[in-house]
Chain A
Amino acid sequence: MKTQSRAGSRLIIGLMFLFLYAPILLLIVFSFNAGDSSAVWKGFSLDWYAKLFQNRIIMESVYTTLLVSLLATAIATTAGTFAAIGLYSLGRKKREALLTVNNIPMVNADIVTGVSLCLFFVAFFQGWGSFARWFNSVQSAVELPDRLVLGFGTLLLAHVAFNIPYVILNVAPKLRQMDRNLMDAAQDLGCTWMRGFWKVMLPEIKPGIVSGALIAFTMSIDDFIISYFTAGSASSTLAMAIYGMTKKRVTPEINAVSTLLFLSVLVLLVASNVKEIRQEARDRRGIVRQPTALDQLRLKLAEPRFRWVRRGTAAVLACAFVAAVVFLSHATGSRPVVNVCSWGEYIDEALIEQFEERTGIRVNYQTAESNEALYSLLKSGGADYDVVVPSDYMIGRLIEEDMLEKLDYSQIPNFSEIDSRFQNLSYDPANEYTVPYAWGTLGIIYNTAMVDGEITSWSALYDEKYAGSVLLINNSRDAIGEALLYLGYSVNTTDEEEIREAYDLIADANRRGVFQGRVMDEVFQKMEGGNAAIATYYAGDYISMLENNEDLAFVIPEEGSNWFVDAMCMLKGAPHQKEAHMWMNFIASTDANLANMDYIGYASPNREALERYPAYYAERYGEELDPGLYEIMAAPAEVLERCESYGNLPAATLNLYKNLWTQLGVR
């Protein structure tokens, strides 16, 4: 009877572990996949591990994660221990009041902590900025930096802030258990306070300190939300890198990272457990262990006369750690840098390497999800970019809000190669701010194997026939623009009625369950893997998807569509302006445009590159470029005639877009 029930309970425990570990095992198995799918097995390979170590974004984020966790743990453990000692020598009332405040970050949802810290840092930076400008203007001996942004420093502060409470909570019970007279006794016996602290108090509360440090480290490593709001754009933790990747085309490099992480933790856990188990077994059998050579050395070193050796070693180790940190941060910081923010899947990465080799400038290449998300990022003070690549209408808005710097075109000789069609466009009529990067059209991408017949109208997006397999584009301008086009209105309408009608169309389809989800770059994985039938996205990205799934088709609906230009601009007060100009000039060159056009599938604004591309393709791949594809990439004049470009909208309309877009998620 007894054994039977135990077998039953063990079965359930086993099932729970199966539930916990099956997804992890899958991650590990697919890290050895030869293909790049996470659902289809294509054979064994170690490629993804090799690629992982070349992936700078992941490797740097691993380094940032480890550094921030270690530093935050060390600082929080020290500070938390002293704070706990201080708190416990206060009266009961004061102590409990302070402990309540101490508990706030633990009880609060992470997102509230993250948001409030983000707002705090930004407010502080603004205050500091005006102080520094004033300070620099009244004296000239010391130059204070007047432009601070979120970065490693704020990330570290935030981690320390949420780690300290855990340390205090673990040290506090040990202090409570400790006999308060012990310290007095030690001092009566002639100890200085410091010595009493090291010899009496520290050993007593050590278990609490150790467990506090462990929990702090775990929390730091596992944190995503607080880092997300406080790290800004310059540094990203592994969690942030992974989140960024899940929004784009996911490669099994993620699986390789997971596997390595899992194995290293497993090894650590097994090692520590084995040690404990052995110790316990010895204790149980009452065997006194023969001291090994190492133990003898340790005993010898513990003698008072070796005190200076011990302290010296500790000092040397500490110095080495600090030196390593300084060296590493220096090694990444001393080279000239340019911070670029673009879109996912939007550059031939070989170009970055070429530029770095040629100029010695390090390119810190980041991506944003959409124009609107980029705008939020810039506004919330998290962005430390020099060059951004927004689309036409967003450039108009940024110029209007005085967020861009005028360019010095004498430093960008390659600008003359840009086709005159793409110069002096309405968003930048005198062409003072922008260097066009790519252009293209918006259209419907659908899977011919999953859709009967041809799609020719935007109506397919709102059709119940395709319920659950339509992907709505996740930015307000495109999503509402499509609906406006379908209804026969202008994409630039400021008529509230028309915009609301368009919104109702989307909201109604949403209610009827037509949309499987809202996506930006997730669309690659969804469409290539046959997980959705219909999506709207950009022509260039269709070309990339077609390489991985031949069933996909692209159409510019009969109601017309949007055509857009994305252009490079420099942000106001960008710290690396010379490097930014060099980067723009490099990217505007014909060679770079050819390579980019081939890689990302978007049409080039460079006159020569656009004309030469079919020849370039034939030379590179040994076969003719399908003229149909070339027409999709670089839409001919008669197609562009049916398309309208987005213009910047007045503030009231932008506000309406924003409110409606928030409402859409609220079913």
Chain B
Amino acid sequence: MKNKLSWFAVPYVVWMALMVVVPILIMVVYAFTTADFEGTTENFSEMGSYASVFLRSFRLAFVATLVCLLIGYPVSYWMAHEGPGFQRVAMALIMLPMWMNFLLRTYSWMSILENNGLLNQFFKAIGLLDLLGVEYIPMIGTSGAVVLGMVYNYLPFMILPIYSVMVKLDGSLIEAARDLGADSSGVFRKVILPLSLPGVLSGVTMVFVPSVSTFAISRLLGGGNQMMLGDLIELQFLGGAYDPHLGAAISMVMMVIVVVCMVVMNRFGEGEEEAVML
């Protein structure tokens, strides 16, 4: 009986080998070869000159993740304490934008942040620009715009896992803590925070990974001035500087760094799997 069922796994193992393992191996091969497929480590020794892109990507993704956490955590907490009707509507409202494509949402910010865009027109109308003596406040093409785009697009990925943990949080634990003499901050530090940590960790992962590797958001809102790892990789494959070997090497380094980050973080959270999905 058992053996018969385990045959179901065989096609999937083959599939995974073909579609997950082999592609990554091919990427590794590309990373260690030249255009004529001779072995080299040059692609990696060149990496030093892209250090600033690595730094910028990780810095912006870190800031975006932090902002998402600072907004997402309290909002999830408060939402979990509202009535069921409120929660249902709020959850639906948070999920709704995810079914619209993120490029549409990002594009909308372009028209808001342009030098002659809606926000600057608004500032002009209320006289702020005259007050400051400038023609416009530069917003598009700055790193702030890129972070804004990331926060805007990935905030739901932070709220959903934290909320799903908060909602399951047993209220009697909090009461017990209070009865035992804990004050509000004590309850938060000793009970709520540790219990919600798995949600926070998966939220952080779900925001950080796409943020660090994005290229569309930085391209649209950063105007090509805020090059990130994703842009650097895209440039080597479909952009203006064709070099898939260098692109593969950068992808590989990024993959390793992200995986190391994840492993370190999961050490803290002891890998609560259920929290990963909604």
Chain A positions within 8 Å of B, measured between CB atoms, are: 9-10, 12-13, 16-17, 19-21, 23-24, 26-27, 30, 38-39, 79, 82-83, 85-90, 98, 101-102, 104-113, 115-120, 123, 157, 161, 164, 166, 169-170, 173, 183-184, 187, 193, 211, 215, 218, 221-222, 224-225, 228-229, 238-239, 242-243, 246, 250, 254, 257-258, 261-262, 265-266, 269, 273, 276-277, 369-370, 372-373, 375-377, 379-380, 382, 468-469, 472, 474-476, 510, 515-519, 526, 529-532, 658-659, 661-663, 665-667
Contacts and interface: CB of A to CB of B under 8 A. Distances in A.
Main DSSP-derived SS at the B contact region: helix
A646 B89 CA distance: 60
Identify the 10 closest CB pairs spanning chains A and B, nearest first: A517-B223, A86-B8, A86-B9, A665-B227, A518-B224, A109-B213, A83-B12, A120-B23, A116-B23, A89-B5
A108 B112 contact: no
Contacts of A225: 213, 215-216, 230
A83 B17 CA distance: 14
A89 B105 CA distance: 43
A85 B6 CA distance: 8
B232 interface: yes
A222 B112 CA distance: 22
Interface string B3-27: 1111111111101100111111011
B241 A173 contact: no
12 contacts: A20-B152, A24-B97, A85-B5, A101-B21, A111-B251, A215-B278, A225-B216, A370-B240, A372-B239, A376-B240, A531-B115, A659-B241
Contact of A662 (B210, B232, B254): B232
B190 to A, nearest CB: 21
B129 interface: no
Given A238-B101, A266-B96, A13 B78 contact: yes
Given A221-B99, A517-B224, A112 B213 contact: yes
A12 B81 CA distance: 14
Contacts of B235: 661-662, 665
A516 B225 contact: yes
B173 interface: no
Contacts of A108: 209, 255, 258
Determine which residue in B7, B11, B111, B225 has the highest number of CB atoms from chain A within 10 A of its CB, and name it.
Answer: B111
B65 to A, nearest CB: 14
B217 to A, nearest CB: 10
Contacts, number: 316
Given A109-B254, A222-B102, A518 B239 contact: no
B9 A16 contact: no
Given A242-B101, A265-B99, A663-B49, A173 B274 contact: yes
Given A90-B6, A224-B101, A666-B227, A116 B15 contact: no
Contacts of A88: 5
Contact of B118 (A12, A26, A85, A89): A26
Contacts of B23: 113, 116-117, 119-120
A529 B114 contact: yes
Contacts of A118: 237
A111 B233 contact: yes
Among B11, B78, B237, B262: residue with most chain A CB under 10 A? B237
B108 A27 contact: yes
A376 B239 contact: yes
Contacts of A228: 238
B273 to A, nearest CB: 8
A504 B16 CA distance: 47
Interface stretch (B174-182, B191-199, B242-250): B242-250
B88 interface: yes
Interface of B: 1-13, 15-16, 19-24, 26-27, 30, 49-50, 52-53, 71, 74-75, 78-79, 81-82, 85, 88-90, 92-105, 107-112, 114-118, 121, 138, 140-141, 152, 155-156, 205, 209-210, 212-213, 215-216, 220, 222-225, 227, 229-244, 246-248, 251, 254-255, 258-259, 262, 273-274, 276-278
B103 A242 contact: yes
A665 B225 CA distance: 7
B220 to A, nearest CB: 6
A445 B66 CA distance: 41
Contacts of B24: 104, 116
A495 to B, nearest CB: 21
Contact of A229 (B9, B232, B238): B238
A109 B210 contact: yes
B52 A24 contact: no
Contacts of A375: 242
Given A85-B8, A224-B101, A376 B96 contact: no
B22 A39 contact: no
A169 B244 CA distance: 33
Contacts of A110: 210, 213
Contact of B111 (A39, A119, A169): A39
A170 B108 contact: no
A660 B50 CA distance: 12
Contacts of B19: 117, 120, 157, 161
Contact of B276 (A13, A169, A469): A169
B133 to A, nearest CB: 15
A26 B111 contact: yes
Contacts of A82: 8, 11-12
A537 to B, nearest CB: 15
B138 A468 contact: yes
Contact of B50 (A23, A515, A666): A666
Most buried by B among A107, A119, A468, A659: A119
Given A86-B12, A468-B138, A242 B107 contact: yes
A16 B104 CA distance: 19
Contacts of B220: 246
Contacts of B49: 663, 666
A87 B5 CA distance: 9
A85 B220 CA distance: 43
A317 to B, nearest CB: 25
B237 A229 contact: yes
A86 B277 contact: no
Contacts of A211: 277-278
A516 B141 contact: yes
B238 A26 contact: no
Contact of B225 (A16, A101, A243, A517): A517
Given A86-B5, A112-B251, A161-B19, A469 B115 contact: yes
A451 to B, nearest CB: 12
Given A239-B101, A377-B238, A86 B6 contact: yes
Contacts of A229: 237-238
